[in-house]
Amino acid sequence: MNDYPKFAVIGGGSWATAIVKMLSENMPEIAWYMRNEAAIEEIKVNYHNPNYLSSVEFDIDKLRLTNDINEAISYADFIVFAVPSAFLSSEMEKVNVSLEGKIIISAIKGIIPETSLIVGEHFHQVYNIPYENIAVITGPCHAEEVALERLSYLTIACGDEKNAKIIGECLNSHYIKTKLTDDIVGTEYAAMLKNIYAIACGMAHGLGYGDNFQALLMSNAIREMKKFIKKVHRMKRNINNSAYLGDLLVTGYSLFSRNRMFGNMIGKGYTVKSAQMEMNMVAEGYYATKSAFELNKQYGAKTPIINAVYDILYNGKDPKKVFKKLTEKLD
């Protein structure tokens, strides 16, 4: 097969590892860039990523492993970015090859701090990538369940239906189902916002609130998400679809959710810094909270949950007092 689409995955974390696993089910070769040279050598010798999803065994003959981002980008037609949003700009500073004609796929669930843009908008405005060459991969899907090959669903958002179908076909397998949408902006904002709400859900759990309140919190969160996204990008969308509500629920409730875990630690009394150090993973919702709060100054959506999380994380407010006030604003 000489005409298969060539994919590169940028990132060495759990979601990048899961995407490489998914692509490996269908592709004869995938370029995989990660900064960590020791991890690359470990994969070459033992066929596992030593730091993330170490239970996944790779067919090493299918991987073009490199710590040179330009080599990976030059190789590929479709480039999947799966690094934390806070680190995308520093990675892109290393790029000195052309992105012209490349299909840029965001698997990043956050806002770029330097530009306050979601990833698709960032690539369009900063790197002049046309929107038809930009796609987004969203859940509901946890990397840990991909590793276990538990049935999972992905949504592929892309303005070009042909590209969306190619991406979907390359990710599909007996345990991965994909659906397509053209709501690039809406799905990206939903993927960013659900991490904030997952932190709120974790905080509630850490503070001792039960399942009844957390259900109410998630019910209010999906309505708040709808108001926020509608202000940013008005189009016909069903907020109850899996890319919005489904992704919110799995991130808010799952024990695999690092954002829920982070919020739970804050609710139990950890400082932000101590929680981040103990997790040793990036909770995207921490950065997203500040970006969403600042962005909403422009749009003016009613966002009591985002505001509460912001007060706790960035203004140092007491979680117990903030949540007591929040309970009076929810219905």
Q: What residues are paired with 137 via a beta bridge? A: 156
Total Cβ atoms within 10 A of residue 208: 11
- Tokens representing 292 are 């969403």
94 is catalytic: no
* Sign for the pseudo-dihedral over CA of 276, 278, 283, 285: negative
Closest to 154 in 3D by CA, of 101, 224, 218, 82: 82
DSSP class of residue 316?
A: -
CB 31 within 8 A of CB 8: yes
C-alpha angle 170-249-208 in degrees, rounded to nearest 5: 145
Catalytic residue among 177, 194, 236, 324: 194
Rounded CA separation 62/106 (Å) = 22
Q: Please report the beta strands in 54-175, taking only residues with DSSP state E, as ranges in sequence order.
A: 63-66, 78-81, 103-106, 111-112, 117-118, 134-138, 152-158
Quote the CA–CA distance of 118 and 49 in Å, as a whole number.
28
* Number of other residues whose CB lies within 10 A of the CB of residue 154: 24
CA 325 to chain centre: 30
The residues, any chain, with a CB within 8 Å of residue 274's CB and separated by 6 or more, are 265
- Which residues participate in catalysis according to the annotation? 194
